[in-house]
Amino acid sequence: MDVKKFLAAGIVFAISFLAICGCGTKQAAAVDMVQVGVAYYDQSDTFLTELLGCLRAQFETMESGRLHITMSIRDAAGSQRRQDDQVKELIDSGCNVLCINLVDRANPAEIIDLAREHAIPVIFFNREPVAEDMMQWDGLYYVGADARQSGVMQGELAADAVRADNNRIDRNNDGKVQYVVLEGEPGHQDAIIRTENAVDTLKNRGIALEKLSCGIANWSRAQAQNRMMQMIGQYQNQIELVLANNDDMALGAMDAYKKLNVTESALPVFFGIDGTQAGLHAVADEELAATVYNDKEGQAAAIAKLAVALALGEGMDGIAFEKGRYVYLEYAKVTSGNVRGFLGRGD
């Protein structure tokens, strides 16, 4: 009996000893858990789909034995109401940082209130809230790019092309370039600013322009094809230059010409912005004259770094902010001469 008691006491002691040691080791190798909630405006958007792919890859490379990161993604399918509900749900599920691509960039109030109430920092990206809303709380950040720069670069690329190949581009030889614009969503910081800066830059570089038409195609390839079909119907072979606010719309314009079987000598030159996979391939094939790279890898890296720093409350020192809480990545020009370097980036 005594021996049994002795043995039992020994076992209890051994178990408690192991348990204490176990806890000790666990504390030494404590795992940081970062639960990221991502909400974006519409899964049909090519650029965002590619950007989120980069973001996922970034979080994966940051994971280690000591850092565990989960990412939950919600698609708002174009409804701000739905996005507000999704954010509520992400908060309830325990996210400790939010990355938000607003549906309506002028209407972040509900999300800001929810985040502030729960003290969960927010990184807005790609669709920039107005400055007034960004000032509502100091847990708000933005990662994106400067729309003006992309417009200027597109204008410079187009001006260079007109200079280099004036006879081919000014097909009716009237000394002016007849152009049309395909524009993104009204109200998006990247739509009107890109157009204005591209056109102004062409003019500043001494290119005489004649605007034939402008159509809103909401970033969409299919809508751009429709708009372009209408414009071709109206202006036939007079269009010499197509400036599109993004690659998808430039590709949609090209689709319209293909559908109508227009001969190559009657095609305008097309310019996009983004450098999506399809856009880069079109530049490599010399169908798209040039594009402007919207640095999705850089944006994803900045979002990921900031998200982890905010969730853990450390590591903010290494981040280069503008105006305290903005991170803007540089655009870059892409032509058939340097496109290979960009095509390799996603690999």
Residues in the site for ligand BGC, rule: CB under 6 A? 45, 47-48, 126-127, 188, 190, 219, 246, 273-274, 294
Interaction of residue 247 with Ca ion, rule CB under 5 A = no
Please, what is the minimum distance in Å from the beta carbon of residue 184 to ligand BGC? Answer: 6
Please, what is the minimum distance in Å from the beta carbon of residue 127 to ligand BGC? Answer: 5
Residue 294 site contact among ligand BGC, Ca ion, none (CB < 5 to 8 Å, cut-off depends on kind): ligand BGC
Q: Which residue is associated with the tokens 């119907």?
A: 233
Residue number, 47 or 124, with CB nearest to ligand BGC: 47
Instruction: Determine contact, residues 38/72, Cβ cutoff 8 Å.
Output: yes
Q: Around Cβ 210, how many Cβ atoms within 10 Å?
A: 13
Residue number, 150 or 201, with CB nearest to ligand BGC: 150
Please, what is the minimum distance in Å from the beta carbon of residue 24 to ligand BGC? Answer: 49
Among 63, 113, 165, 174, binds Ca ion (CB under 5 A): 174
Interaction of residue 170 with Ca ion, rule CB under 5 A = yes
Please, what is the minimum distance in Å from the beta carbon of residue 96 to ligand BGC? Answer: 25
CA distance 326 to 319: 10
Please, what is the minimum distance in Å from the beta carbon of residue 188 to ligand BGC? Answer: 6
Instruction: Determine contact, residues 197/152, Cβ cutoff 8 Å.
Output: yes
x-or-dash string of contact with Ca ion, 119-158, rule CB under 5 A: ----------------------------------------
For CA atoms 123, 125, 129, 135, the dihedral sign is positive
Spatial CA neighbour of 233 closest among 264, 269, 257: 257
Residue number, 133 or 170, with CB nearest to Ca ion: 170
The one segment of 115-123, 142-150, 173-181, 256-264 that binds Ca ion by CB under 5 A: 173-181
How does DSSP classify residue 325? T
CA distance 149 to 326: 16
Residue 258 CA from chain centroid, whole number:
28
CA distance 56 to 72: 10
CA distance 62 to 138: 25
Please, what is the minimum distance in Å from the beta carbon of residue 187 to ligand BGC? Answer: 11
Q: Which residue is associated with the tokens 């414009």?
A: 231
Question: How many residues bind Ca ion, per CB under 5 A?
Answer: 4
For 67, 97, 311, 343, the CA distances from 60, given in Å and listed in that order, are 10, 16, 16, 21
Residue 172 site contact among Ca ion, ligand BGC, none (CB < 5 to 8 Å, cut-off depends on kind): Ca ion
Please, what is the minimum distance in Å from the beta carbon of residue 229 to Ca ion? Answer: 21
Please state whether beta strands 291-293 and 332-334 pair in parallel, antiparallel, or not at all (unpaired).
Answer: antiparallel
Give the binding site for Ca ion (CB under 5 A).
170, 172, 174, 176
